[in-house]
Amino acid sequence: MRRTPIIISLLIGLLVLAGLGWGSAAWSRAHERRWSGRLDLELVSCNHCHLKIENLPWAQPSRRHSAPAGLAVSPDNRKVYIALDERNEVVEADGVTLAITRRLEVRGGPFGLAIDAKGERLYATCRDGDRVVAIDLATFREVESLAIGAGPVAATYCDTQEGGRLVIANSVSDNISVVSLSPFKELARPQAGREPYAVAAAPDGSIAFVANRLAVPENYYSMASSELTLVDPSKGKLLLRSPFESAHLAEGIAVAPGRGWALTPLIKVRNLVPITQVANGWVMSSGLAIADAKGSIIQMPLDEAHDYFADPSGIAVDAAGKRAFIVSGGSDTVTVVDLELLARWLAGASDQAKREAIDDLSLSAEYVVARIPTGRNPRHATLSPDGKRLYVSERLEDAVLAVDTAALKPIGRIRLGDGGQTDPIRRGERVFTQAAHTFQRQFSCRSCHPDGHVDGLSYDFDGDGIGDNLLDNRSLQGVAGTSPLKWNGKNPSLQVQCGVRFARVLMRTDPIPGAELDDLAAYLNSLPPPRWARRHRQVLTPAQERGRRIFFATLTPAGEPIPRERQCHVCHRPPLYSNRLMSSVGTRGSLDPSDLFDTPHLLGVAYTAPYLHDGRAKTLEELWTTYQTNDLHGVSSYMNKHQLNDLVEFLKTL
């Protein structure tokens, strides 16, 4: 008897819940359609539009490790100096006991080091602080500081007839700072290629050689080349720019005294070859570029036919010009090259043989005399001036390896930290940088995403023909919270993107195991957008402010309403500047299967050229001057040159 009311109230309850559910779904759908201006939109998560930067993983504090970057050894061979950018420190260690003797706090992420000829001053370039610091080595104190270009990562000292100089690679402003030492002052800032990353000077101080890390393709479908830039250190004049053909990630450079060579390890990259050719070894290999003072360059292979030494980075050459030591961050190896044997091969080779050398991996046996295993991710290398010790920064081991160059055997380590194995982000960075997961260890994630960023190239991930369906590389700095991933928006999560897909398309081996994938995702999620700390509190200039108003405009200057689905800020909605939806903006190419593309987030967009899914736009301006169709990608037809400039100026602040 008493059951009926219970059943009735249950039924009523269910109906109310269903009604509420239906009502809220209807509300949500109407709300989302209203604010996106898209009547086709089905239910998506509220997070697509309502999300807080403060909650993203990269905005949380993370552990700072004692990861060694640049190295320098005192002229008397006794002291080793090590830059610890993550910890804002420069440390001194004893070359014999390998114990740390002094520490100094240096703000702004000290990364590159150089020491003067007398061993009185050490110079540290601060990558995040955009300055170079002079450290007095008697007192181990910072004595002078000078503002230079943006993102300085490497410096070399040279004696010129007009006094001591520093030549500094500014990786973000793409130029070179030439600094006189007394007075401590910037003399000139010549232009370089994209991401100047390493510097070396001829022993007589007449030329400085700068290796640029990223390649700049002429067009998105043409071969990409990075650059060797030559400057005169006395006055800071640009002497010459010469391409490293079909190469990128040139991160080290050293001069071979007596031979007139500047040697640069680099990755030979064939990005227009379908990635399905990985199994044939046609996508990436390691090379050593030999340049002379006239800028002519020969590239020689460092790999072996069935074993690759991925991500060559730093290089050191002894004072006699006999041997070069090249560290490979992706395969934890030092490759020792006998320069006498190399010179002999070059002397006997025809011009054609020299041009084709880089593709003949059997050649390395002619001059590679040893491979020395190291700890995780060796990146910088330097020799003591007497040539007896080689020091190698094992970046993800928090250590510097000391190698006896006579025996070619490690003799110990300068321990800087614990290696960070309890930190998932650190473990993930190890997975990201190692080539162990690819076929014959040909490359790592870092080979295309240096420091989690872009390499500026577009790749052919399909097997349907050379140069078809190119996909512009995407930065992983600031990727947290931006899923779905890929230009076609097909991947829901970092785990899927980096696991199965990566194994199938790129690695040609087994997928990365689950636990390592979680670590990898933790690492990627920890990467803030480029130079975020510097940018997010900036005050807008008048031009940037005008550009901001254009970005958020709902009316044209003539008072015409801009339809909601064509307003920049609706698709590129703050704080990520993406609504994380697929949309069509008239950019479909003849080979694209669809006209819908993932709406990219715009955090750090100034640093990720080229643009659009296939990388066809070299600059931000080109998006609206060359690649706009019928106002489909935001309404821009009303804009004059100045208004477009203002808009671009604003985009560069994001």
Task: Please report, as ranges, the residues that interact with ligand HEC according to CB under 6 A.
Answer: 28, 31-32, 35-36, 44, 46, 48-50, 443, 445, 447-449, 459, 471, 473-474, 476, 479, 482, 485-487, 494, 497-498, 502, 506, 520, 524, 551, 565-568, 570-572, 579, 583, 585, 587, 597, 599-600, 602, 605, 608, 611-613, 620, 623, 633-634, 636, 647, 651
Half-sphere exposure at residue 465, Cβ-oriented, CA atoms within 13 angstroms: 4
**At its nearest, how many Å lie between ligand HEC and the CB of residue 560?**
15
**Nearer residue to ligand HEC within complex by CB, 36 or 382:** 36
Structure tokens at 174: 């793409």
The conformation of residue 321, written as its DSSP 8-state character, comes to: S
**At its nearest, how many Å lie between ligand HEC and the CB of residue 48?**
4
**At its nearest, how many Å lie between ligand HEC and the CB of residue 363?**
24
H helix intervals, 389-485: 424-433
**Nearer residue to ligand HEC within complex by CB, 286 or 473:** 473
- What is the spatial distance between Cα 195 and Cα 198, in angstroms, rounded to a whole number? 9
Q: What is residue 336's three-state secondary structure? A: strand
- What is the spatial distance between Cα 627 and Cα 54, in angstroms, rounded to a whole number? 35
**At its nearest, how many Å lie between ligand HEC and the CB of residue 581?**
7
**At its nearest, how many Å lie between ligand HEC and the CB of residue 49?**
3
**Nearer residue to ligand HEC within complex by CB, 231 or 278:** 278
Angle subtended at Cα 413 by Cα 76 and Cα 65, rounded to the nearest 5 degrees: 110
**At its nearest, how many Å lie between ligand HEC and the CB of residue 645?**
12
**Nearer residue to ligand HEC within complex by CB, 536 or 652:** 652
**Nearer residue to ligand HEC within complex by CB, 36 or 299:** 36
**At its nearest, how many Å lie between ligand HEC and the CB of residue 191?**
24
**Nearer residue to ligand HEC within complex by CB, 297 or 632:** 632
**At its nearest, how many Å lie between ligand HEC and the CB of residue 644?**
9
Q: In what order do the strands lie in the sheet with 333-338?
A: 312-317, 323-328, 333-338, 368-373
Comparing C-alpha atoms, which of 613, 607, 587 is closest to residue 490?
613
**Nearer residue to ligand HEC within complex by CB, 415 or 652:** 652
Q: Are strands 470-472 and 582-583 parallel, antiparallel or unpaired?
A: unpaired
Q: Are strands 378-383 and 368-373 parallel, antiparallel or unpaired?
A: unpaired
**At its nearest, how many Å lie between ligand HEC and the CB of residue 564?**
9
Q: What is residue 355's three-state secondary structure? A: helix
**Which residue type is seen at 347?**
A
CB atoms within 10 A of CB 551: 20
- What is the spatial distance between Cα 422 and Cα 628, in angstroms, rounded to a whole number? 49
Comparing C-alpha atoms, which of 76, 80, 74 is closest to residue 93?
80
**At its nearest, how many Å lie between ligand HEC and the CB of residue 20?**
13
**Nearer residue to ligand HEC within complex by CB, 359 or 621:** 621
**Nearer residue to ligand HEC within complex by CB, 272 or 414:** 272
**Nearer residue to ligand HEC within complex by CB, 242 or 608:** 608
**At its nearest, how many Å lie between ligand HEC and the CB of residue 433?**
9
The conformation of residue 49, written as its DSSP 8-state character, comes to: T
Structure tokens at 442: 């040909």
**At its nearest, how many Å lie between ligand HEC and the CB of residue 418?**
25
- What is the spatial distance between Cα 302 and Cα 36, in angstroms, rounded to a whole number? 53
DSSP 94-153: ETTT--EEEEEE-SS-EEEEEE-TTSSEEEEEETTTTEEEEEETTTTEEEEEEE-SSSEE
- What is the spatial distance between Cα 70 and Cα 252, in angstroms, rounded to a whole number? 11
Sequence length of the chain is 654
Half-sphere exposure at residue 567, Cβ-oriented, CA atoms within 13 angstroms: 22
The burial class, CB within 10 Å (0-12 / 13-18 / 19+), for 29 is: middle
**Nearer residue to ligand HEC within complex by CB, 388 or 566:** 566
Give strand pairing partners of 161.
Answer: none
**Nearer residue to ligand HEC within complex by CB, 131 or 572:** 572
**Which residue type is seen at 161?**
Q
Structure tokens at 213: 């890390």
**At its nearest, how many Å lie between ligand HEC and the CB of residue 531?**
16
Q: Looking only at Cα atoms, what is the longest distance across the chain?
A: 109
Q: Helices 424-433 and 514-525 meet at what angle, rounded to 10?
A: 100
**At its nearest, how many Å lie between ligand HEC and the CB of residue 450?**
11
Comparing C-alpha atoms, which of 504, 549, 497 is closest to residue 520?
497
Q: Cα 68 to the chain's mean position, in Å?
A: 17
**Which residue type is seen at 551?**
F
**Nearer residue to ligand HEC within complex by CB, 169 or 479:** 479
Which residue's C-beta sits nearest to ligand HEC?
Answer: 634
Structure tokens at 280: 């044939």
**Nearer residue to ligand HEC within complex by CB, 107 or 588:** 588
